[in-house]
Amino acid sequence: MSLIVVGTMAYDAIETPFGKTDRIVGGSATYAAYAASFFVKPIQQISIVGNDFEEAIMEDLRERGVMTDGVEVVSDKPSFFWSGKYHLDMNTRDTLITDLNVLADFKPVVPESYQGAEFLMLGNLSPDIQKSVIEQLRERPKLIILDTMNFWMEIALEGLLENLKLIDVLLVNDSEARQLTGEFSMVKAARKILTMGPKYLIIKKGEHGAMLFHGDHVFYAPALPLEDVFDPTGAGDTFAGGFIGYLANTKDISFNNMKSAIIVGSAMASFCVEKFGPTRLQELTREELEERIQEFVDLVQFEIDLSQ
Ligand code: AMP
Protein backbone atom coordinates (compact mmCIF):
# COMPACT_ATOMS: atom_id res chain seq x y z
CA MET A 1 0.00 0.00 0.00
CA SER A 2 1.74 3.20 -1.06
CA LEU A 3 1.08 6.84 -0.31
CA ILE A 4 2.25 9.86 -2.27
CA VAL A 5 2.82 13.00 -0.19
CA VAL A 6 3.16 16.31 -2.02
CA GLY A 7 4.08 19.54 -0.24
CA THR A 8 6.82 21.85 0.89
CA MET A 9 10.09 20.88 2.54
CA ALA A 10 11.29 24.05 4.09
CA TYR A 11 13.03 26.06 6.75
CA ASP A 12 10.98 28.04 9.24
CA ALA A 13 11.64 30.79 11.74
CA ILE A 14 9.08 30.55 14.52
CA GLU A 15 8.23 32.71 17.48
CA THR A 16 5.76 31.56 20.11
CA PRO A 17 5.06 33.05 23.55
CA PHE A 18 7.42 30.37 24.92
CA GLY A 19 10.42 30.59 22.65
CA LYS A 20 11.96 31.48 19.36
CA THR A 21 13.95 29.67 16.70
CA ASP A 22 15.55 31.37 13.72
CA ARG A 23 15.86 28.26 11.62
CA ILE A 24 14.31 24.83 11.90
CA VAL A 25 13.30 22.31 9.30
CA GLY A 26 9.63 22.45 8.37
CA GLY A 27 7.27 22.31 5.41
CA SER A 28 3.95 20.60 4.95
CA ALA A 29 5.39 17.48 3.32
CA THR A 30 8.07 17.09 5.98
CA TYR A 31 5.54 16.98 8.81
CA ALA A 32 3.11 14.78 6.86
CA ALA A 33 5.85 12.28 5.96
CA TYR A 34 7.11 12.00 9.54
CA ALA A 35 3.57 11.37 10.79
CA ALA A 36 2.51 8.96 8.04
CA SER A 37 5.73 6.94 8.35
CA PHE A 38 4.41 5.50 11.62
CA PHE A 39 1.75 3.64 9.63
CA VAL A 40 2.68 3.08 6.01
CA LYS A 41 5.65 2.28 3.80
CA PRO A 42 6.70 3.40 1.31
CA ILE A 43 5.82 7.06 1.41
CA GLN A 44 6.55 8.59 -1.96
CA GLN A 45 7.57 12.17 -1.37
CA ILE A 46 7.17 14.91 -3.99
CA SER A 47 8.76 18.23 -3.14
CA ILE A 48 11.60 20.59 -3.93
CA VAL A 49 14.51 21.77 -1.80
CA GLY A 50 17.43 24.12 -2.26
CA ASN A 51 21.16 23.80 -1.70
CA ASP A 52 20.73 24.38 2.04
CA PHE A 53 18.52 21.41 2.92
CA GLU A 54 20.27 19.08 5.36
CA GLU A 55 21.14 15.66 3.98
CA ALA A 56 20.71 14.29 7.52
CA ILE A 57 16.97 15.04 7.41
CA MET A 58 16.62 13.37 3.99
CA GLU A 59 18.50 10.36 5.32
CA ASP A 60 16.34 10.23 8.46
CA LEU A 61 13.21 10.27 6.31
CA ARG A 62 14.59 7.56 4.00
CA GLU A 63 15.32 5.36 7.00
CA ARG A 64 11.66 5.72 7.95
CA GLY A 65 10.58 4.44 4.53
CA VAL A 66 10.19 7.75 2.72
CA MET A 67 11.24 7.60 -0.94
CA THR A 68 12.86 10.83 -2.07
CA ASP A 69 13.15 10.17 -5.83
CA GLY A 70 10.43 12.81 -6.31
CA VAL A 71 12.25 15.47 -4.28
CA GLU A 72 14.01 17.84 -6.66
CA VAL A 73 17.23 19.40 -5.38
CA VAL A 74 18.10 22.81 -6.84
CA SER A 75 21.79 23.60 -6.50
CA ASP A 76 21.76 27.38 -6.86
CA LYS A 77 18.86 28.50 -4.66
CA PRO A 78 17.77 28.18 -1.03
CA SER A 79 14.78 26.15 0.14
CA PHE A 80 11.32 27.62 0.75
CA PHE A 81 11.43 29.78 3.88
CA TRP A 82 8.53 30.72 6.10
CA SER A 83 8.45 32.77 9.25
CA GLY A 84 5.54 33.12 11.64
CA LYS A 85 4.72 34.55 15.03
CA TYR A 86 2.00 33.10 17.26
CA HIS A 87 -0.34 35.14 19.38
CA LEU A 88 -0.81 34.38 23.04
CA ASP A 89 -3.77 32.04 22.39
CA MET A 90 -1.55 29.94 20.03
CA ASN A 91 -4.55 29.43 17.73
CA THR A 92 -3.74 32.43 15.59
CA ARG A 93 -0.49 33.53 14.03
CA ASP A 94 0.89 36.17 11.74
CA THR A 95 2.97 35.17 8.75
CA LEU A 96 6.02 37.44 8.78
CA ILE A 97 7.91 36.12 5.76
CA THR A 98 7.11 33.78 2.87
CA ASP A 99 10.20 33.40 0.66
CA LEU A 100 9.23 31.07 -2.17
CA ASN A 101 12.85 30.59 -3.33
CA VAL A 102 12.96 27.17 -5.09
CA LEU A 103 9.17 26.91 -4.91
CA ALA A 104 8.76 29.79 -7.37
CA ASP A 105 9.48 27.54 -10.34
CA PHE A 106 8.49 24.17 -8.97
CA LYS A 107 7.07 21.89 -11.66
CA PRO A 108 6.77 18.52 -9.98
CA VAL A 109 7.50 15.44 -12.02
CA VAL A 110 5.94 12.25 -10.70
CA PRO A 111 8.61 9.52 -10.92
CA GLU A 112 7.62 6.38 -12.83
CA SER A 113 8.17 4.37 -9.63
CA TYR A 114 5.34 6.32 -7.92
CA GLN A 115 2.68 5.34 -10.51
CA GLY A 116 -0.06 3.14 -9.11
CA ALA A 117 -0.06 4.70 -5.61
CA GLU A 118 -3.38 4.11 -3.89
CA PHE A 119 -3.35 7.15 -1.60
CA LEU A 120 -2.48 10.75 -2.41
CA MET A 121 -2.03 13.55 0.06
CA LEU A 122 -1.83 16.97 -1.54
CA GLY A 123 -0.25 19.12 1.13
CA ASN A 124 -0.44 22.86 1.28
CA LEU A 125 0.93 24.15 -2.05
CA SER A 126 -0.34 26.22 -4.95
CA PRO A 127 -3.47 24.71 -6.55
CA ASP A 128 -1.67 24.54 -9.93
CA ILE A 129 1.05 22.33 -8.51
CA GLN A 130 -1.49 20.16 -6.70
CA LYS A 131 -3.45 19.71 -9.92
CA SER A 132 -0.41 18.87 -12.01
CA VAL A 133 0.33 15.91 -9.72
CA ILE A 134 -3.24 14.57 -10.04
CA GLU A 135 -3.00 14.90 -13.82
CA GLN A 136 0.28 13.00 -14.03
CA LEU A 137 -1.10 9.93 -12.28
CA ARG A 138 -2.25 7.43 -14.91
CA GLU A 139 -4.49 5.63 -12.43
CA ARG A 140 -6.60 7.66 -10.01
CA PRO A 141 -5.63 6.87 -6.40
CA LYS A 142 -8.30 5.29 -4.19
CA LEU A 143 -8.33 8.37 -1.97
CA ILE A 144 -7.13 11.94 -2.58
CA ILE A 145 -6.85 14.36 0.33
CA LEU A 146 -6.17 18.05 -0.19
CA ASP A 147 -4.94 20.54 2.37
CA THR A 148 -4.86 24.25 1.66
CA MET A 149 -4.75 27.62 3.42
CA ASN A 150 -6.08 31.19 3.32
CA PHE A 151 -3.05 32.33 1.27
CA TRP A 152 -4.23 30.23 -1.74
CA MET A 153 -7.87 31.25 -1.28
CA GLU A 154 -6.73 34.84 -1.63
CA ILE A 155 -4.47 34.48 -4.66
CA ALA A 156 -5.64 31.32 -6.50
CA LEU A 157 -9.28 30.69 -5.59
CA GLU A 158 -10.31 29.60 -9.08
CA GLY A 159 -7.67 26.87 -9.24
CA LEU A 160 -8.56 25.73 -5.76
CA LEU A 161 -12.26 25.44 -6.65
CA GLU A 162 -11.35 23.37 -9.73
CA ASN A 163 -9.27 21.03 -7.58
CA LEU A 164 -12.13 20.52 -5.15
CA LYS A 165 -13.96 18.67 -7.92
CA LEU A 166 -11.07 16.22 -8.29
CA ILE A 167 -10.56 15.13 -4.69
CA ASP A 168 -12.26 13.07 -1.97
CA VAL A 169 -11.35 14.76 1.32
CA LEU A 170 -10.74 18.47 1.97
CA LEU A 171 -8.87 19.57 5.07
CA VAL A 172 -9.25 23.15 6.25
CA ASN A 173 -9.34 24.99 9.54
CA ASP A 174 -12.44 26.80 10.80
CA SER A 175 -11.45 30.26 9.58
CA GLU A 176 -10.61 28.86 6.13
CA ALA A 177 -14.02 27.10 5.98
CA ARG A 178 -15.64 30.47 6.74
CA GLN A 179 -13.50 32.25 4.15
CA LEU A 180 -14.34 29.68 1.48
CA THR A 181 -18.11 29.84 2.04
CA GLY A 182 -18.93 33.15 3.71
CA GLU A 183 -20.82 31.14 6.36
CA PHE A 184 -20.13 31.59 10.06
CA SER A 185 -21.78 28.34 11.17
CA MET A 186 -19.52 25.33 10.66
CA VAL A 187 -22.54 23.18 9.81
CA LYS A 188 -23.67 25.56 7.07
CA ALA A 189 -20.11 26.00 5.81
CA ALA A 190 -19.66 22.22 5.69
CA ARG A 191 -22.91 21.76 3.77
CA LYS A 192 -21.75 24.27 1.18
CA ILE A 193 -18.26 22.80 0.83
CA LEU A 194 -19.71 19.31 0.33
CA THR A 195 -21.54 20.65 -2.74
CA MET A 196 -18.23 21.94 -4.19
CA GLY A 197 -16.76 18.48 -4.86
CA PRO A 198 -15.27 16.66 -1.88
CA LYS A 199 -17.32 13.84 -0.36
CA TYR A 200 -15.65 14.29 3.00
CA LEU A 201 -14.64 17.44 4.81
CA ILE A 202 -12.43 17.79 7.86
CA ILE A 203 -12.52 21.09 9.71
CA LYS A 204 -9.62 21.51 12.13
CA LYS A 205 -10.28 23.67 15.15
CA GLY A 206 -6.84 23.76 16.79
CA GLU A 207 -7.06 23.12 20.52
CA HIS A 208 -10.79 22.43 20.07
CA GLY A 209 -10.30 19.32 17.97
CA ALA A 210 -11.56 18.41 14.52
CA MET A 211 -14.86 17.68 12.82
CA LEU A 212 -15.53 15.22 10.00
CA PHE A 213 -18.52 15.81 7.71
CA HIS A 214 -19.90 13.36 5.13
CA GLY A 215 -23.44 13.69 3.74
CA ASP A 216 -25.63 14.19 6.80
CA HIS A 217 -23.12 12.56 9.13
CA VAL A 218 -20.89 14.48 11.54
CA PHE A 219 -18.15 13.19 13.81
CA TYR A 220 -16.30 15.30 16.35
CA ALA A 221 -12.92 14.44 17.85
CA PRO A 222 -11.53 16.55 20.68
CA ALA A 223 -7.94 17.65 20.93
CA LEU A 224 -6.16 16.33 23.98
CA PRO A 225 -6.16 18.97 26.74
CA LEU A 226 -2.40 19.44 26.92
CA GLU A 227 -0.74 21.28 29.75
CA ASP A 228 1.78 22.93 27.47
CA VAL A 229 1.50 23.73 23.80
CA PHE A 230 4.95 24.87 22.81
CA ASP A 231 4.76 25.34 19.02
CA PRO A 232 1.67 24.55 16.90
CA THR A 233 3.58 24.79 13.58
CA GLY A 234 2.94 21.75 11.44
CA ALA A 235 0.13 20.39 13.61
CA GLY A 236 -2.27 20.46 10.65
CA ASP A 237 0.14 18.62 8.34
CA THR A 238 0.99 16.12 11.06
CA PHE A 239 -2.72 15.52 11.59
CA ALA A 240 -3.15 14.96 7.86
CA GLY A 241 -0.18 12.56 7.69
CA GLY A 242 -1.46 10.52 10.62
CA PHE A 243 -4.99 10.50 9.18
CA ILE A 244 -4.07 9.28 5.70
CA GLY A 245 -1.29 7.02 6.99
CA TYR A 246 -3.79 5.19 9.18
CA LEU A 247 -6.30 4.86 6.33
CA ALA A 248 -3.61 3.50 4.02
CA ASN A 249 -2.46 1.05 6.68
CA THR A 250 -5.96 -0.29 7.32
CA LYS A 251 -6.94 -0.16 3.61
CA ASP A 252 -10.41 0.96 4.69
CA ILE A 253 -11.77 4.33 3.54
CA SER A 254 -15.24 4.06 5.10
CA PHE A 255 -16.68 6.91 7.18
CA ASN A 256 -16.45 4.68 10.23
CA ASN A 257 -12.74 4.07 9.76
CA MET A 258 -12.18 7.76 9.08
CA LYS A 259 -13.41 8.38 12.65
CA SER A 260 -10.52 6.26 13.96
CA ALA A 261 -8.15 7.96 11.53
CA ILE A 262 -9.15 11.34 12.95
CA ILE A 263 -8.26 10.17 16.44
CA VAL A 264 -4.90 8.92 15.16
CA GLY A 265 -4.27 12.25 13.39
CA SER A 266 -5.19 14.15 16.55
CA ALA A 267 -2.83 12.01 18.64
CA MET A 268 0.04 12.61 16.22
CA ALA A 269 -0.67 16.36 16.20
CA SER A 270 -0.70 16.43 20.00
CA PHE A 271 2.94 15.30 19.96
CA CYS A 272 3.94 17.72 17.23
CA VAL A 273 3.01 20.78 19.31
CA GLU A 274 5.14 19.74 22.31
CA LYS A 275 8.45 20.94 20.82
CA PHE A 276 9.73 23.22 18.07
CA GLY A 277 9.31 22.02 14.49
CA PRO A 278 9.21 18.26 13.90
CA THR A 279 11.57 17.56 16.84
CA ARG A 280 9.02 15.64 18.89
CA LEU A 281 7.95 13.52 15.91
CA GLN A 282 11.58 12.61 15.28
CA GLU A 283 11.96 11.16 18.78
CA LEU A 284 8.47 9.67 19.15
CA THR A 285 8.19 5.96 19.94
CA ARG A 286 5.44 3.50 19.04
CA GLU A 287 4.70 2.92 22.76
CA GLU A 288 4.19 6.63 23.42
CA LEU A 289 1.84 6.81 20.45
CA GLU A 290 -0.23 3.84 21.61
CA GLU A 291 -0.49 5.29 25.13
CA ARG A 292 -1.67 8.62 23.77
CA ILE A 293 -4.30 7.04 21.54
CA GLN A 294 -5.63 5.28 24.65
CA GLU A 295 -5.79 8.68 26.41
CA PHE A 296 -8.03 9.89 23.59
CA VAL A 297 -10.28 6.88 23.95
CA ASP A 298 -10.54 7.49 27.72
CA LEU A 299 -11.22 11.18 27.15
CA VAL A 300 -14.41 10.63 25.19
CA GLN A 301 -15.71 7.41 26.71
CA PHE A 302 -18.66 7.68 29.07
CA GLU A 303 -21.65 5.69 30.17
CA ILE A 304 -25.07 7.16 30.46
CA ASP A 305 -28.23 5.70 31.96
CA LEU A 306 -31.49 7.56 31.43
CA SER A 307 -33.69 4.84 32.90
CA GLN A 308 -34.14 6.43 36.35
P1 AMP B 1 0.79 24.34 9.47
O2 AMP B 1 1.19 24.86 10.83
O3 AMP B 1 0.15 22.98 9.54
O4 AMP B 1 0.00 25.32 8.69
O5 AMP B 1 2.12 24.09 8.64
C6 AMP B 1 3.24 24.90 8.77
C7 AMP B 1 4.22 24.57 7.67
O8 AMP B 1 3.71 24.99 6.41
C9 AMP B 1 5.51 25.30 7.88
O10 AMP B 1 6.53 24.37 8.18
C11 AMP B 1 5.80 26.08 6.59
O12 AMP B 1 7.08 25.84 6.07
C13 AMP B 1 4.72 25.59 5.63
N14 AMP B 1 4.08 26.72 4.90
C15 AMP B 1 3.81 27.96 5.36
N16 AMP B 1 3.23 28.73 4.41
C17 AMP B 1 3.14 27.94 3.30
C18 AMP B 1 2.64 28.15 1.97
N19 AMP B 1 2.13 29.32 1.57
N20 AMP B 1 2.69 27.11 1.10
C21 AMP B 1 3.20 25.92 1.50
N22 AMP B 1 3.69 25.66 2.72
C23 AMP B 1 3.67 26.65 3.63
Q: How do the pLDDT tens digits run along the chain, 308 residues long?
A: 899 999 999 999 999 999 999 999 999 999 999 999 999 999 999 999 999 999 999 999 999 999 999 999 999 999 999 999 999 888 889 999 999 999 998 999 999 999 999 999 999 999 999 999 999 999 999 999 999 998 899 999 999 999 999 999 999 999 999 999 999 999 999 999 999 999 999 999 988 899 999 999 999 999 888 877 899 999 999 999 999 999 999 999 999 999 999 999 999 999 999 999 999 999 999 999 999 999 999 988 888 999 87
Pick the atom of ligand 1 nearest to 12's CA.
12
Name all residues whose Cβ lies below 6 A of ligand 1: 8, 10, 12, 26-28, 82, 98, 124-125, 151, 233-237
Pick the atom of ligand 1 nearest to 82's CA.
12
Q: Is the dihedral of CA 61, 47, 266, 229 positive or negative?
A: positive
d(CA 304, ligand 1 centre) in Å? 42
Residue identifier of the C-alpha nearest atom 16 of ligand 1? 82
pTM for this entry: 0.95
Which residues are bridge partners to 99 per DSSP? 81
Distance separating alpha carbons of residues 284 and 139, to the nearest angstrom: 34
Distance separating alpha carbons of residues 92 and 114, to the nearest angstrom: 36
Tell which one of 8, 202, 243 to mutate to probe ligand 1, the residue whose CB is within 8 A of the most ligand atoms. 8
d(CA 124, ligand 1 centre) in Å? 7
d(CA 121, ligand 1 centre) in Å? 15
